[in-house]
Structure 1
């Protein structure tokens, strides 16, 4: 019996070790509900993407909602067999709605729930730069970046899906819910079943979200330090959870907790601890020292902002430094002066440099021998866990299928980029370089994602590389980034879905079919929705032209645009190179490479101290890369909840954790998503608001004020 146990305890406690290969999978119900789920989630997520309080509706909502619909279809649809006895005989209703149909529907939903990163490119070109981009070219970029990720996933699935050590923690939430919804459980005397627990938690989450979502938005970030000292800039810089360092700030809102780092209930304790240490180091040590020592004129700008500034603290006028050919006007740039960043923005870029170097060194030192062993042993029978043995009974997807998809996509991308170079700016060699970078980083990033539930971002290093090689061309920079880093993120999504199918024993070729269809369908809907909104909503994303109460502020697209200016238009040489202000930030590359080496040496010197091996420098550094889009309160909330779940409850209430932890995560997420959509449809779309002080999200208006003498900003006291 011991051989059936996974080497990962959380997997052993959660994933079933049985299979029912006779269950029908490719049914009419699966295609209908899967397609509907994919389209609906793609539309809603892109629709909310552009809004001030963006709402991400995940596949867990669909995972729960389709069960009664699937059971209803199994009850009402005829079970008649059409063309009986013929080669093409089929039935619309092969029997009861089963768990494998349910998993495939959720795979479809995952395609719609995971945002299409390349849509940022469409928004940036059409809205911020107001340049020509045809729908055909936009569609091609969106489709190829998605499909390119599918190719990388296929190549690396043997390293990142089949080994038991690659356990993908976030999938355990969905596995728990599948079992919850399909396995019958007998209630113990004086207790409740997992179904009952889920229902109670779901109703509570659904009902509660009306407060932070509408009645009392301040619950998103309760920055009480600001309330005690309402006229102190220093106090508000320290205490603001949204525009400052977030000391003491807390959000009584699950969306605040799980929006950026995912569910803390799905994070293993060592990953949570690494993220906590990294956050404290960046936010409470590095940032304050840099700011209060006035490094790079830091006091002339807000301490926490993604905007771009002149040396005098004014917003940088990008249009003044761009010529009619959409390139940098060097003379105009020298006249306006160098570009400056807020302390947190500059710090996060430095941490991003360190994270890239740390990722490579960490994977080589701690996983290099494992990768080499996988190459040599090629998954011999003695290395298979129970899940791999069960899956080996199904026909596998040939690697040549993925290679064909990959080669065709790369060739087509090169042709389109050359033919429509006036719109995309990137040349053929840029595509090949982006693909080389994606191939190189998919495995190390995948290992970290599969073991820690966190995904280090590659956008900074991709922008840095092309910015040096091809400066002054912002769209080429964006295009390189979406092919070089977005395709890796997409590959990680596909690999996670592969592992979900692996845990639930879905035939690999069926998974392949569902993922291809879902990928293409979601790309079409995401782009169609974005194009419609950009064309029909007046002044969308342009905050200076929008009414103060307009929801169409596009916070994530603003950050993407700022990055395109820093790395693409002006270029890294004029910011981080020999012609730039921030050249010393490049030392973070060396620091990032040395840190994992020190951890590895310490582990070898003190082998009995197993906790040393659990220090994961890429996660310790990389999680803060989501700032300044993610705020301090998002991290503090996530760390607190993660500590209680993965350390306190897991260690001292193991039985409760096994039965309820992942179920609770899914219930909280589903309740929030359903209430969020309901609030928007009933109130938000009608612009119904309460207009009272509880709608002030942070209550810290001075947190964004500069503290340098002589810098005048509207709404801030003169110093």
Structure 2
């Protein structure tokens, strides 16, 4: 569904900004930062976008590219490893970029340039935009499809192995439904997408040429080569060094209080596992930091005050339990249709969550409520144009300009923009034909039809009207969650909220709840990834139609690869994926969380979450969250010197429950790197920051990810038996590598 259909601006409208003005001669790097003298601090998003990334575009290369050059990029899809990272903590765009760049020259050298195979050889120069095409296509295929949640849970917890063809079409439809082109979240400079800056900084260093680029490449190469298998395989203790656990390895209290919070992590794959700390703006990092502090305090307080019988259950877990602390057997309360049977439920009793997981549910709903209010108070002007279509004349204009002949729509943008205050990167893109709105509409329509067929062919128990509600929910959230991700680089999920809504509209059906969340939450997630990739195309000056093609082809092939990889890993790592803690190599956190939520919300929403029940405040938290940002907005309006604008209340609330599972030893190292980069370097050495911060971030990500990929298949069991490094003090064979006590 395109922006004009879903709600924002027409493809023929050029968005303007109220930011810093840009003249035509600013199409090289901006001059407010002198990289040699070190003067001038990058103070806002536009400064960063125009100083860190080149605005130049060699349009002769882009315009001359042929279809077969792009088609040749399909050969690089072998590195689409999203299925691996569904059960491992990390995946990076940098991995895709490094591998594609490494393979470009030998591919051009050894593939014939004549005969049938010539269509697989990019005869023309391998340019920045072609490399961007490869990364976008591989990224679309490498993203772990949320549909694997449904398939993995069915295999792990229900002993159901869905039909292969149906499973792949499930992934097709759920991945493509999120392709909605919200242009207002793409074109303005304020929509920076910080997470893609290292990638584009590396591209600039590779393709710009000149002494400055060569210096960048030397820095990149040195950092990239220095990262190896040491922390990941040979010395896994470096994943989290806890002085407290080393001093008292058998003390449960010490492990709970200090096992993750004050550990020091030297493994970059965990430090930057969710997001690279060198890219997130300082304001967002500050709110992130407050959230983690509150998280540690709240978790410990809830546990030691035995709230919700916390001490009966593991400290950090996503599973369901009996009151005595043993794991809840969900199959004993479900009938043959996988619906909750009241008689069986009475025999087993209601399940319990670990109390830290209840805190997680509360903070997720609080943060989503706060998100709406925060953006409407602080960023109303940035997203207001998304509603300009919601009047009779706007709807009439959309209908009049919509070309149903999508196969020949010209999609040309407005050319007369010399006087407009627009983003300089976007201004360079105006010479290329746009991907018409009708293209997005056709993708949405086909995905919609396939999804309906899959729902009934798989006996999902989700009715068609439930499917429509899930899509409506997604459409509402895309704008707000997309805006937050574009500005701060931090992403939210509506999974918990979707499970709550799905549970109340169709009670007693966990499987239906899983499908409801799949088509609701995943649509939001995919829309954010689409916009991120389109921003990469904008920064790299890749024509919009090429970017669209890369995303569609990559997504379709990635669905097949996701399915194959998921089955392979479940076959080889089943017992680890079913365990509470997992290992530092494999983790079943994702399917565990998805399954327990589906049982609790889909099957037992009234019994657990309604008014008067054990977890009644979880759904009410969403309403309470709507009011949280208001006091801070009032404080900043009347007392601006207090800098209440540094507080992103949705981020603070979201992170307050974030550390509920997985490896948490990265926190101290993450914030040490974050504040070193975004405060100390940016303010004290702005020239160095502008030249090298993002290229170093790229090298750290790329080097680590290449090694993780190799180790996953070579020694860690992604394709069969794992081969652990011989046991020694830094790689003990049993228990936790950080010598903290295993908490049951």
Give TM-score, length-normalised by structure 2: 0.84
Distance 1:252-1:701 versus aligned 2 partners, 3 A rule: closer
1:654 and 2:692 are equivalent in the alignment: no
CA contact (8 A) 1:11 1:167 kept: yes
Name which of 610, 616, 631 aligns with 1:577: 610
Q: How do 1:49-64 residues align onto structure 2 when only pairs under 5 Å count?
A: 49-50=86-87, 54=88, 56-64=90-98
Q: Which of 123-132 and 264-273 deviates more?
A: 123-132
CA distance in 2, matches of 1:119, 1:20: 40
1:221 and 2:240 are equivalent in the alignment: yes
Name which of 194, 211, 225 aligns with 1:169: 194
1:628 deviates by 2.1
1:625 deviates by 5.3
> 1:685-708 CA deviation, whole Å, 9 max, x = no partner?
464331233224444554625xxx
1:360 and 2:394 are equivalent in the alignment: no
1:79 deviates by 6.3
Q: How do 1:111-510 residues align onto structure 2 when only pairs under 5 Å count?
A: 111-131=140-160, 133-150=162-179, 152=180, 154=181, 156=182, 158-186=183-211, 193-206=215-228, 210-241=229-260, 246=261, 248-260=262-274, 262-284=275-297, 286-373=298-385, 382-417=420-455, 419-420=456-457, 422=459, 424-510=460-546
Name which of 663, 671, 694 aligns with 2:703: 671
CA contact (8 A) 1:454 1:623 kept: no
1:504 deviates by 1.4
CA contact (8 A) 2:57 2:541 kept: yes
Distance 1:16-1:187 versus aligned 2 partners, 3 A rule: closer
> 1:215-253 CA deviation, whole Å, 9 max, x = no partner?
221111112212223343222211112xxxx2x211111
Name which of 598, 616, 633 aligns with 1:600: 633
Distance 1:67-1:575 versus aligned 2 partners, 3 A rule: same
User: How many aligned residue pairs are there?
Assistant: 670
Distance 1:327-1:74 versus aligned 2 partners, 3 A rule: closer
CA distance in 2, matches of 1:298, 1:214: 35
What 5-or-longer segments of structure 2 have no aligned partner? 1-20, 31-43, 395-413
Name which of 519, 530, 554 aligns with 2:566: 530
Distance 1:445-1:625 versus aligned 2 partners, 3 A rule: farther
Q: Which of 676-685 and 431-440 deviates more?
A: 676-685
1:255 deviates by 1.4
CA contact (8 A) 1:173 1:662 kept: yes
CA distance in 2, matches of 1:91, 1:117: 31
Distance 1:625-1:397 versus aligned 2 partners, 3 A rule: farther
CA distance in 2, matches of 1:597, 1:388: 34
Name which of 599, 613, 625 aligns with 2:645: 613
CA contact (8 A) 1:217 1:695 kept: yes
Question: Could you say which residue in structure 2 is the equivalent of 1:709?
Answer: none
1:45 and 2:82 are equivalent in the alignment: yes
CA distance in 2, matches of 1:57, 1:421: 30
CA distance in 1, matches of 2:84, 2:618: 37
What SS is found at the alignment partner of 1:8?
Answer: helix
1:498 deviates by 0.4
What 5-or-longer segments of structure 1 have no aligned partner? 83-88, 706-719
Q: Which of 598-607 and 71-80 deviates more?
A: 71-80
Name which of 10, 32, 56 aligns with 1:18: 56
Question: Could you say which residue in structure 2 is the equivalent of 1:633?
Answer: 665
> 1:90-120 CA deviation, whole Å, 9 max, x = no partner?
9955432211111111111211332111111
1:8 and 2:46 are equivalent in the alignment: yes
Name which of 71, 92, 101 aligns with 1:31: 71
Distance 1:393-1:531 versus aligned 2 partners, 3 A rule: same
Distance 1:81-1:219 versus aligned 2 partners, 3 A rule: closer
1:427 deviates by 0.5
CA distance in 1, matches of 2:629, 2:583: 47
> 1:334-363 CA deviation, whole Å, 9 max, x = no partner?
332222222221111100110110111112
CA distance in 2, matches of 1:440, 1:60: 31
CA distance in 1, matches of 2:633, 2:368: 17
1:55 deviates by 5.9
CA contact (8 A) 1:240 1:703 kept: no
Distance 1:307-1:79 versus aligned 2 partners, 3 A rule: closer
> 1:310-331 CA deviation, whole Å, 9 max, x = no partner?
2222221222222222111222
Question: Could you say which residue in structure 1 is the equivalent of 2:743?
Answer: 704
CA contact (8 A) 2:310 2:355 kept: yes
CA contact (8 A) 2:577 2:589 kept: no
CA contact (8 A) 1:55 1:676 kept: no
Q: Which of 440-449 and 101-110 deviates more?
A: 101-110
CA contact (8 A) 2:85 2:144 kept: no
Question: Could you say which residue in structure 1 is the equivalent of 2:99?
Answer: 65
> 1:51-81 CA deviation, whole Å, 9 max, x = no partner?
xxx2644331231233343234445667679
1:624 deviates by 4.8
CA distance in 1, matches of 2:388, 2:170: 37
Distance 1:269-1:215 versus aligned 2 partners, 3 A rule: same
Distance 1:693-1:309 versus aligned 2 partners, 3 A rule: farther
CA distance in 2, matches of 1:620, 1:26: 48
> 1:21-80 CA deviation, whole Å, 9 max, x = no partner?
110434545423x32332x232x3314544xxx264433123123334323444566767
CA distance in 2, matches of 1:66, 1:103: 10
1:502 deviates by 0.8
CA distance in 2, matches of 1:583, 1:481: 21
CA contact (8 A) 2:53 2:197 kept: yes
Distance 1:663-1:305 versus aligned 2 partners, 3 A rule: same
1:420 deviates by 2.3
> 1:509-552 CA deviation, whole Å, 9 max, x = no partner?
11111111111111121113324554x54856664799x99976
CA distance in 2, matches of 1:91, 1:114: 24
